[in-house]
Structure 1
Amino acid sequence: MLTDGDKTLGVIIAGRPVSRHQDDGITLEITRCCVKEVYKNGVSKLYEAACRVAQAMGYKRVITYTLTAENGASMRASNFKLKGINKGGSWSSKSPERVDKHPTGSKYLWVREVS
């Protein structure tokens, strides 16, 4: 969490990778990051902090995804490397059918080694 002492300015959430192909026991995935727009460099600060925590917990790699419409400036500022693009998609199937409430288009995969 990022604060100014009194107010919450931003939060970041990380956990086991959503993709079973990335879930190797040494990779942490940042799944959410939210920072009030008025706080300059807040996203980069949260990503840096998450990487320090990941390293302290024994993880070797941190991954995250951005939409292709995003420029990735915070990722590059936090020393993440662009590793590829996935095709996106939906988790829905005939059974169970789901309603997608998230973007289902292509996304960039960003990786940072922390060991």
Structure 2
Amino acid sequence: MDTMKSDGSGAAVPALQLVPVSFADACGFVAMWHRHHTPPIGHKFSIGVADGEKLVGVAMVGRPVARHYDDGRTLEVNRTATDGTRNANSMLYAAAWKAASNLGYRRLITYTQAGESGASLRGAGWKVLAARPPRVGWSVPSRPRKDNGVDGIARTLWEMAA
């Protein structure tokens, strides 16, 4: 893989590269850069993408949030966040699938919210699996839950599968 790119003037500068990232560092990056979610409470693994020495994006992969997808062979990209660096998010989604499939998982899912184009997912080869209507929320009288600001928003379910 070519580790250098041109800055337009002919000078070589480091290209985007995948880097290991700890859970704590991934959480810190998500807290700083994600538009509407806080970091997840756990993960199976995280991946970073760097431009030279600068971390420009992270993907956090864990067990599926929806219990009927938690079959032991499926993981979910629970968060991605970038600083806006071009192609970083697509690189993260592609790397997340490669890592998950190399670990023996047969399926990787994620969601986008209404208003998000999914361009990064399409660029990484992901396919739309289903459109999910807005839900009223997770809170019920027997188990009250705090609204995290994402209830009532339609979502699209995406997947990569072996």
TM > 0.5: yes
Deviations 1:38-96 (A, max 9, x none): x1100000001101110111001110000121111111111111111122421211133
Percent identity at matched positions?
Answer: 40
In structure 2, the residue matched to 1:41 is: 87
Provide structure 1 residue ranges, at least 5 long, that are not aligned to the other structure: none
Whole-Å separation in 1 of the counterparts to 2:49 and 2:95? 10
Q: Partners in 2 of 1:65 and 1:86 — Cα distance?
A: 9
Instruction: Give the number of the structure with larger relative contact order, counting CA–CA contacts within 8 Å between residues 6 or more apart.
Output: 1
Alignment of 1:28 onto 2:93: no
1:74 equivalenced with 2:126 (yes/no)? no
SS at match of 2:68: coil
How far residue 98 of structure 1 moved from its aligned partner, in angstroms, is 1.8
* Corresponding residue pairs, total: 113
Give 1:85's match in structure 2, choosing from 127, 131, 138.
131
Alignment of 1:87-102 (within 5 A): 87-89=133-135, 90-102=137-149
- The letter of the residue matching 1:6 is E
Where do 4+ consecutive residues of structure 1 move more than 3 Å? none
Structure showing greater radius of gyration is 2
Root-mean-square deviation (CA, aligned residues, Å) is 1.2
* SS, match of residue 50 in structure 1: helix
Structure 2: runs of 5 or more not aligned: 1-47
